[in-house]
Amino acid sequence: MNNVSHIPSYLSAEHLGPWETYLVQIDRVEPHLSAELRPLAPLLTRPKRALIVDVPIRLDNGEVAHFEGYRVQHNLSRGPGKGGIRYHPDVTLAEVMALSAWMTVKNAVVNVPFGGAKGGVRVDPKLLSMPELERLTRRYTSEINILIGQDKDIPAPDINTNEQVMAWIMDTFSMNEGKTSMGVVTGKPISLGGSLGRKDATGRGVFVSTVEAARRLGMQIEGAKVAIQGFGNVGEASARLFANAGAKVVALQDGSGAIANPAGLDVRAVKAFRHQSGSLIGAPGAETIDADRFWRCDVDILVAAAMENQITASNAGSIKARILTEGANGPTTPEADLILQENGVTVIPDVLANAGGVTVSYFEWVQDISAFFWTEEEINARLDRIMREAFAAVWDAAQAKGVVMRTAAFVLGCERVLMAHKLRGLYP
């Protein structure tokens, strides 16, 4: 396989990271596309727009600091761009490109009318005060103002951003527009047009898709042993929903370390301890384990809800789970994918499993535009239905084509994107 032709000239081939992973995924999917759409596949290997911005802010001590920010729109054939904004010291253009591309496929898999976009600022937000974080957010918003808008590109929270950050973005954009524009972002506070059910949406999608896979594999969720990497918004919600369904959450891992209890962890007690101490280590009823042991845990279900490239060729062979659900974006490398396939692990890919978040973001956008808001019960019911229907479509395609679920999901999503592009044509 040769991806050199797919590498934009402004990127170094030595530092592609997640973008290289995405290109490998597209190369694996291309032979399975319909003959009608296969010639259009190169469209998927190039982002439509990539904006790099300088984000200067005045620090509390009076000095001026500069941070680098990005907003990438991968594809807009099916609608306005949609994708989160992350604040992280390791953010790169290649990473944001990959994340925007996965959003393109993800939105198409669950059939919401969005294209793919993503944004980020290379910064460690833990080193900023709240006033500095607000100034960073408002300046970054002003710099990407030319791209975003409720009919153009709608950001949302991602790693190290939250509803407060979204409120600042909405306010800054609204001030520049001279009118309140609630639909410019999703994941906002409820009082500013946010949607009920949004906080747990990604974790709920992870849970629902895993339940659907378990049912088809003849596995009972009640009593199943679950390990979850990542205990942020997605991982915590997933853990809570699994525990409520009678599963045993036997291992957890985040940036502070890993803990385990073969009899099952008390998820709510662990959450309370972590909230107070900032760490999983020392949580009640939990044994501290090392990272290698976490991946070797004897479990039925493994949820990867941290960051990309966590499951690699070095640890994939240790995974004993029957189901691996990708709550994070791009947690599994292409090499690890092949190992998991050989070992009979059913992988529910990120573009399906973690699509609950963008689905409820779509609900929030619709509610903002219509100024009519739904109950949490309505939102959860609509989310569950969309996730079950999307899972069934991917599962059936995988069975029909004799491919793994990631390939089936990419075929389904990519064909929807390419068909939209074909029908719209080229202008001029």
Positions annotated as catalytic residues are 118
Residue (of 287, 335, 341) closest to 315 by Cα position: 335
Distance CA 201, CA 357 (A): 5
**DSSP letter for each residue of 86-137:** EEETT--HHHHHHHHHHHHHHHHHTT-S-EEEEEEEE--GGGS-HHHHHHHH
The two three-digit tokens of residue 384, written as one number: 């569950």
List, in sequence order, the alpha helices (H) in 371-404: 376-401
Q: What is the number of other CB atoms lying within 10 angstroms of the CB of residue 361?
A: 27
Q: What is the C-alpha end-to-end distance of the chain, expressed in Å?
A: 33
Distance CA 133, CA 127 (A): 9
Residue (of 191, 261, 195, 255) closest to 226 by Cα position: 261
| Residue 60 phi, psi (nearest 5) | -60, -25
Residue (of 272, 275, 222) closest to 249 by Cα position: 222
Please classify residue 354 by burial: count the beta carbons closer than 10 Å to its beta carbon, then call 0-12 exposed, 13-18 middle and 19+ buried.
Answer: buried
Instruction: Give 298's Cβ-side CA count (13 Å radius).
Output: 3
Distance CA 123, CA 325 (A): 29
